[in-house]
Structure 1
Amino acid sequence: MEKQTITIYDVAREANVSMATVSRVVNGNPNVKPTTRKKVLEVIDRLDYRPNAVARGLASKKTTTVGVIIPDVSNMFFASLARGIDDIATMYKYNIILANSDGETQKEVNVLNNLLAKQVDGVIFMGHRITDEIRAEFSRSKTPIVLAGSIDPDVQVGSVNIDYRQATKEAVDLLASHGNEKIAFVSGALIDPINGQDRMSGYKEALENHKLKYSEGLIFEAPYSFKEGLALTDRILNSGATAAYLTDDELAIGLLDGLIDKGIKVPEEFEIVTSNDSLLTDVARPRLTSVTQPLYDIGAVAMRLLTKMMNKEDLEEKTIILPHSIYEKGSTK
């Protein structure tokens, strides 16, 4: 037997009140007599009535739903951000629709349009970079959008990050101060401004401070995965590098395993600093030295920024930079 959808009309008839009264009870409006409220709530309970969010959205022009676009749900970096977003969303009574974009431009555009078609009140976007295609969609849309862990070089969209340039400079400074003259820079796509602009300039600045020569032969681009890190091991060793700074923890674990497989001691013969300080850095042996980002906070602050935009509150700052540090563990001397 098909389950009948219970409507507000059924509840009103059963409780012998008007639909407006049921609506007031459901929306927590105080102008309802306690006895009436109790009667209506009992009927709602007995019939298992669930207000239709879409219908409520049409009436209020708000769906109290937020779309969250993630490039890779399985990557711990994005999972931690999503956790922070979800907790604040719950606090402000917003529901979340989570969508996976695989970091592909066309899929990002499709996913964004699907969310906007669902009339979400706001969107949090985590992508490796803001492509022209996705920027065009952002500017066409009237819906508030905030970036978490992504940078908009044109600063048109609100965003929450750490200072990636400074963090990379400190990481490479640490490796150079241990006497490493050839330090590999291993990152995701350099077309992503966080990698190609912010982190790269931090890397170059640290080399200059230590009077080390910049060399293209020490720059490695790879998709963010354990397998890719493992596959890069030979090339990184052949470059003459004795240390590496990596922009992703999975890549770093791949390289660590590749080095151990070759009998190379970490950190005695090769030092590693990674970037996200996810759980993976503590699971590895030796534990990985890492830049620490307040991942949960980046998500939480992004969601709070979005609630302000959705409620048209005044914003002191659209670009928010949170503090970072370097946590020295077992992969550096």
Structure 2
Amino acid sequence: MKKKQSATIYDVASRVGVSLATVSRVVNGNTNVRESTKRKVLAAIDELGYHPNAVARGLASKKTTTIGVVMPDVTDMYYSELARGIDDVANMYHYDVLLTNTDEDPVRETMAVNNLATKQVDGIIFMGNELDREVLNTIASVDAPVVLAGFLTSDGSLPSVNIDYVAAIRESTKALIRNGHQRVALVIGPLTHAINKQYRLKGYQDALEEMGIDYDESLVFTSHQDYAAGMQVAERVTAAKATAAITYDDEVALGIMNYMIDKGVKVPDDFEVVTSNNTKFAIVTRPAVTSISQPKYDIGAVAMRMLTKLMNNEILEDTQITLPHTIERRGTTKNDLEIKM
């Protein structure tokens, strides 16, 4: 069967009897076209089924109206909610989104950024927990603005949108201490990552100091970001005689909670759990998990809005945006859990 040939810009121009430049102006929304001519061009586009070639338009305008989004795990609810905010705002500003998954592997992250650069994306939003030196160097070499969503570099060298991780962990830790816990475990990702060492751990240490409790590094645990890892770290948390835990990931929190329940430990009477991402995992389980609530959709949406400004060569008034967080009290903490600054 002979393949149907797509209509071209030449076909549209010929049908209406105008120049290629006139058709191009109509397609690109240029207002410098007579209304009657515009109607004829749009009618011809509809009749012929003409679809503008995005690549060709990008070469001509030096814009592809495409942005790249680098995600560590497309199946993770936290990142998918951020991506929804990005996509909605991208659509509002008529940008297409190219999504790439990296499994938080620096080699794949470097490849992802390079691949997006070869596709001439107009900008990139990067999600994850850390940027290693090679990835940072690659980002610096790309001729496109980059915004971080849901994490930040140690030196604030790239625009980012986050919550105040120090304050969120400090508030949660102090609340658990007020509930009578002298040994609160902190379960986070690798301490080589700035978001863990400089922000989450700092919030935890600040809370201990304010509440007059000595810091004990044996109560700080690193864990992979999944349910099985939570089950595994729970054994070490128990061995450390902790009676409460704050985790950086909802699946990890569920692993810890279920381990305790399997061992006959009553949650929250004998062991309290607070998580950090407030995804559906924290809500649908029983008991539902008390969580730091991040405005995930808004983080993605604001990151995309920042990127649109950078792609238009606008100056950002603030390159480090901090959005407000709350604490959602649920069934893994006692009813009298009191959150104070």
TM-score, normalized by length of structure 2? Answer: 0.94
Q: Distance in 2 between matches of 1:276 and 1:313?
A: 32
- Is contact 2:70-2:101 (8 Å) kept? yes
Deviates more, 1:132-141 or 1:208-217: 208-217
Amino acid at match of 2:69: V
Partner of 2:294: 293
Q: Distance in 2 between matches of 1:6 and 1:256?
A: 60
**Amino acid of the structure 2 residue aligned with 1:213:** D
Give how far 1:21 is off: 2.2
Query: Which residue does 1:110 correspond to in 2?
Result: 111
Task: Tell me the CA shift for residue 303 of structure 1.
Answer: 0.8
Moved more, 76-85 or 16-25: 16-25
CA distance in 2, matches of 1:43, 1:35: 13
1:198-237 matches, cutoff 5 A: 198-237=199-238
Query: What is residue 176 of structure 2 aligned with on the other side?
Result: 175
- 1:157-212 CA-to-partner distances (Å, cap 9, x unmatched) read 11111110111000111111111111111112221111122110111111122222
Quote the residue 1:82 is aligned against: 83
Matching residue's letter, 2:99: L
Query: What residue number does 2:194 align with?
Result: 193
Q: What is the match of residue 37 of structure 1?
A: 38
**For residue 99 of structure 1, what is the aligned residue in structure 2?**
100
- Where do 5+ consecutive residues of structure 2 fail to align? 335-341
SS of residue in 1 equivalent to 2:100: strand
Q: Give the match for residue 321 of structure 1.
A: 322
Deviation, 1:6, is: 2.5
Distance in 1 (CA, whole Å) between partners of 2:294 and 2:233 is 25
- Pairing 1:156–2:142 present: no
Following the alignment from structure 1 to structure 2, what is the Cα–Cα distance between the partners of residues 28 and 314? 25
Q: Contact conserved, 2:189 with 2:225, CA < 8 A, in 1?
A: yes
CA shift for structure 1 position 82:
0.7
Moved more, 23-32 or 163-172: 23-32
Instruction: Confirm whether residue 248 of structure 1 aligns to residue 249 of structure 2.
Output: yes
Range with greater deviation from structure 2 (227-236 or 82-91):
227-236
CA contact under 8 A between 2:70 and 2:127: conserved in structure 1?
A: yes
In 2, distance between residues paired with 1:153 and 1:234? 31
Residues 68 and 99 in structure 2, CA contact (< 8 A), matched pair in contact too: yes
Report the Cα distance in structure 2 between the residues aligned to 1:142 and 1:28, rounded to whole angstroms. 26
8 Å CA contact retained: 2:190, 2:222:
yes
Match of 2:27 in 1: 26
Matched with 2:271 is 270
CA distance in 1, matches of 2:267, 2:140: 48
Residue equivalent to 2:338: none
Deviation at 1:280, TM superposition (A): 1.5
Equivalent in the alignment of 1:65? 66
Give the aligned residue type for 2:216. Answer: S
Q: What displacement does 1:104 show?
A: 0.4
Q: What secondary structure, in the 3-state scheme, does the structure 1 residue paired with 2:162 have?
A: strand
Query: CA 1:3 to 1:258, structure 2 compared with 1: closer, same or farther past 3 Å?
Result: farther
DSSP-derived class of the 1:2 partner: coil
Larger mean Cα displacement after TM superposition, 195-204 or 28-37? 28-37
Q: Give the Å deviation of 1:41.
A: 2.0
Alpha-carbon separation, structure 2, partners of 1:3 and 1:103: 43
Aligned length: 333
1:284 aligns with 2:257: no
Q: Counterpart of 1:22 in structure 2: which amino acid? A: V
Structure 1 residue 295: Cα displacement: 0.8
Deviations 1:265-286 (A, max 9, x none): 1100100011111122111111
Cα RMSD (Å): 1.4
Partner residue of 1:8? 9
Please state how far the C-alpha of 1:64 moved relative to its aligned partner.
1.2
Q: Counterpart of 1:132? A: 133
C-alpha displacement of 1:2: 2.4
TM-score (norm: length of structure 1) = 0.96
Q: Deviations over 1:29-84 (max 9, x none)?
A: 23334443333222222322110111101111111111111111111111111111
Identity %: 50
SS state at 1:96 partner: strand
User: 1:253-272 CA deviation, whole Å, 9 max, x = no partner?
Assistant: 11112222222211001000
220-229 or 110-119, larger mean C-alpha shift: 220-229
In 1, the alpha carbon distance for the partners of 2:225 and 2:4 equals: 45
